[in-house]
């Protein structure tokens, strides 16, 4: 075979190899593009974020880097703010958040005899709850005919949804998570920016405003804000999905009030609902029902903002020095009389 023929054979061979490499690289690029398209999906929930912009000509007290509340902690060890009276300027933050044109969804459950608390809840909310901002209450009840007529303020509205009656108050309490999961996933995705879930047997006594907004918001339980963690009534049985080991935990959060962005609250309610279903399949009920699962979730998924017991006080206790204002509180009631299975 001549030298010229050998050269042509070698040239053809390398041409085939080069073509193969180009094909493989092109195919891999297309695969990578497909993978990227699958991973980077446009988020379903869009939280407005215009930054913390103020406006000219607004006068408010000068903030201080040295002077503030010294009798309470105003930040957690993971640098989330704890909201107390004296830690924010209401005038300034209202101006900042007014520019964002926010909608705050708020869910309330009133089944059976709990409808008696609706009037006081709604009337007091209209005096103190996100006044001047857009609020949409979603009321779930088995007795829609007993919902009182309460005049809503400007940009405040109420939607009543009928739900089935239940024989156990524990089932009513735990069933909220599934309803909230579906509500945040479907209807509210494009209608609200934040959501709070509040107990109905409560009353507002003071401002509850935009200082409470955050991605994931927990409220410190008024019975446990000033005690060591070994007193917290976490679920300590390993068999339960709500299990928190003894000697661990940050704060004890109330199940009567929590909230955040739609995305974050959806993740919370979905996880709690899934864990409660696993417990139910194993004939286990956590010590404090959905509150136990809420505490498990907030222990491993740290809240971005915590509300002090000002934002949920207890109806059986005198005030303490650290609580300078009661904004929201349970009302006195006879549990044995209003709960269906007691």
Q: Is 243 helix (H, G, I), strand (E, B) or coil?
A: strand
Say if residue 114 carries a ligand binding annotation.
yes
Question: What value does the CA radius of gyration of the chain take, rounded to a whole number of Å?
Answer: 27
Select which of 85, 126, 235, 291 is catalytic. Answer: 291
Half-sphere exposure of 38 (CA within 13 A, CB side): 6
Q: Residue 43 in contact with residue 262, Cβ under 8 Å?
A: no
**Alpha carbon distances (Å) from 314 to 18, 221, 310, 326, 333:** 76, 9, 10, 10, 11
DSSP H/E element including 92: helix 90-98
Say if residue 291 carries a ligand binding annotation.
yes
Say if residue 199 carries a ligand binding annotation.
yes
Sign of the CA dihedral with 154 first, then 155, 161, and 167 last: negative
Quick one: tokens of 139?
A: 């009321």
Q: Hey, which residues does 313 pair with through a beta bridge?
A: 329
Sign of the CA dihedral with 89 first, then 132, 215, and 139 last: positive
Say if residue 136 carries a ligand binding annotation.
no
Count how many residues are written for the chain: 342
Say if residue 201 carries a ligand binding annotation.
yes
Closest CA to 248 of 292, 290, 300: 300
Does 85 qualify as catalytic in the annotation?
Answer: no
Say if residue 330 carries a ligand binding annotation.
no
Other Cβ atoms within 10 Å of 306 Cβ, number = 27
Closest CA to 312 of 297, 291, 296: 291
* CA separation for the pair 184, 174 (Å, rounded): 17
Quick one: tokens of 314?
A: 């207890």
Sign of the CA dihedral with 182 first, then 203, 121, and 166 last: positive
Residues flagged as binding site for Mn(2+): 199, 201
What residues act catalytically? 291
Residues flagged as binding site for UDP-N-acetyl-alpha-D-galactosamine: 114, 199-201
Residues flagged as binding site: 114, 199-201, 221, 233, 291
């Amino acid at each position: 075979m001549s030298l010229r023929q050998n050269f042509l054979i070698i040239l053809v061979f390398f041409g085939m190899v080069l073509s193969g490499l180009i094909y493989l690289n092109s195919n891999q690029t297309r695969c990578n593009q497909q993978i990227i398209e699958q991973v980077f999906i446009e988020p379903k929930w869009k939280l407005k974020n215009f930054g913390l912009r103020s406006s000219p000509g607004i006068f408010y007290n000068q903030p201080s880097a040295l002077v503030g509340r010294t009798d309470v902690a105003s930040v957690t060890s993971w640098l989330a703010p704890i909201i107390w009276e004296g830690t924010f300027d209401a005038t300034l933050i209202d101006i900042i958040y007014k520019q964002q044109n926010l909608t705050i969804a708020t869910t309330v459950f009133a089944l059976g005899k709990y409808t008696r608390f609706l009037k006081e809840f709604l009337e007091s909310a209209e005096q103190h709850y996100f006044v001047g901002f857009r609020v949409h209450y979603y009321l779930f009840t088995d007795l829609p005919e007993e919902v009182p007529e309460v005049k809503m303020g400007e940009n405040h509205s109420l939607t009543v949804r009928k739900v089935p009656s239940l024989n156990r108050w524990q089932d009513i309490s735990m069933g909220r998570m599934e309803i909230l999961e579906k509500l945040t996933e479907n209807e509210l995705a494009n209608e609200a920016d934040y959501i709070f879930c509040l107990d109905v047997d409560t009353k507002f006594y003071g401002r509850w405003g935009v200082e409470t907004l955050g991605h994931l918001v927990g409220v410190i339980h008024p019975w446990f804000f000033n005690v060591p963690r070994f007193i917290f009534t976490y679920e300590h049985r390993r068999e339960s999905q709500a299990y928190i080991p003894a000697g661990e935990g940050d704060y004890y959060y109330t199940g009567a009030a929590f909230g955040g962005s739609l995305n974050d609250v959806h993740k919370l309610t979905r996880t709690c609902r899934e864990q409660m279903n696993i417990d139910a399949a194993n004939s286990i009920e956590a010590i404090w029902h959905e509150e136990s699962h809420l505490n498990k979730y907030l222990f491993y998924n740290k809240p971005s903002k915590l509300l002090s017991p000002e934002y949920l006080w207890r109806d059986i206790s005198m005030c303490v020095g650290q609580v300078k204002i009661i904004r929201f509180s349970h009302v006195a009631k006879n549990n044995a009389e209003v709960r269906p299975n007691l």
